[in-house]
Amino acid sequence: MTRLIVWRHGNTDWNAGSRVQGQTDVPLNDLGRRQAVDAAELLVRMRPDAIVSSDLSRAFDTAAALAALTGLTISTDERLRERFFGDWQGLTMAEVAAERPAEHARWTAGEDVIGGEVETLDDLGKRVSEALLEAARLAPPGGTVVVATHGAAARQGVGHLLGWQREHLRTLRALQNCHWVELTHDEARGWQMAAYNVGVLADRPVPPPV
């Protein structure tokens, strides 16, 4: 049985400020780097055979924490990038709601086509699921591949891979930073979700300045 771990990157300052990142290359912050290390200490126990990452630094640097423990080389795939949010990128969600209310309303309703050059959910799901399938082929029989990606990309890519309808995907809560989805595959059952939003239960407290 092949196992695929779809892992969201650690926290960034834009996450903390509710600012739309999309495909803007925003780095991990100190909290995000700690989250990556803590999560890697759990994921290494799964004995991954390969690590694949989005080429955006917040995902790649998250994957690097696991690579440091396993000695594996990280392969990058730009299809694993976050949803392209077009004119929204760099805005806070409050600014989107105030300045682009019609688009924000369509996004809130879970519609596929938003406007403002925002990538459709269908296009997002197709490209990410294709990358996930290709990543899974890196595992030997019964092996494990860890894929570092982004929140919306992970949820939509997994949903497309499983054949879920958009309204079903809306029932899933957003992945927390540095949490993951576990998928398994065998010839009899195909792809199945084994676990969702798994990760370290609580962030370590930030040490006081010295």
The pLDDT of residue 167: 86
Tokens representing 161? 């891979």
The pLDDT of residue 166: 86
Q: What is the pLDDT of residues 98-119, one digit of tens each?
A: 999 999 999 999 999 999 999 9
The pLDDT of residue 18: 95
Tokens representing 9? 């990157």
The pLDDT of residue 128: 98
Mean pLDDT for the chain overall:
94
In 3D, which of 39, 106, 113 has the Cα closest to residue 83? 113
**pTM (global) more than 0.85:** yes
CA dist., res. 84 & res. 204, Å (int):
31
The pLDDT-based confidence of 202 (bands split at 50, 70, 90) is low
Q: What is the pLDDT of residues 125-149, one digit of tens each?
A: 999 999 999 999 999 999 999 999 9
Ordered strands of the 190-198 beta sheet: 74-76, 50-53, 144-149, 2-8, 180-186, 190-198
CA dist., res. 48 & res. 61, Å (int):
17
State whether the Cα torsion 146-172-178-114 is positive or negative: positive
Residue 210 has pLDDT above 50, yes or no: no
Domain boundaries, the chain: 2-85+120-198
Q: What is the pLDDT of residues 159-186, one digit of tens each?
A: 999 999 988 888 999 999 999 999 999 9
8 A C-beta contact, residue 152 and residue 6: no
Estimate to the nearest angstrom the gap between the alpha carbon of 139 and the chain centroid.
20
| pLDDT mean over 26-43 | 98
The pLDDT of residue 50: 98
Residues carrying an active site annotation: 9, 82
Tokens 């925003």: give the residue.
26
In terms of Cβ atoms closer than 10 Å to its own Cβ (0-12, 13-18, 19+), residue 172 is: middle
φ/ψ (deg, to 5) at 67: -60, -35
CA dist., res. 104 & res. 94, Å (int):
10
Identify the DSSP state of 87: G
Q: Which CATH class is domain 2-85+120-198?
A: alpha beta
| pLDDT mean over 35-59 | 98
The pLDDT of residue 201: 78
8 A C-beta contact, residue 62 and residue 9: yes
Strand partners, 52: 75, 147
The pLDDT-based confidence of 205 (bands split at 50, 70, 90) is very low
Enumerate residues 6+ apart whose C-beta is below 8 A from 173. Answer: 197
CA dist., res. 121 & res. 103, Å (int):
14
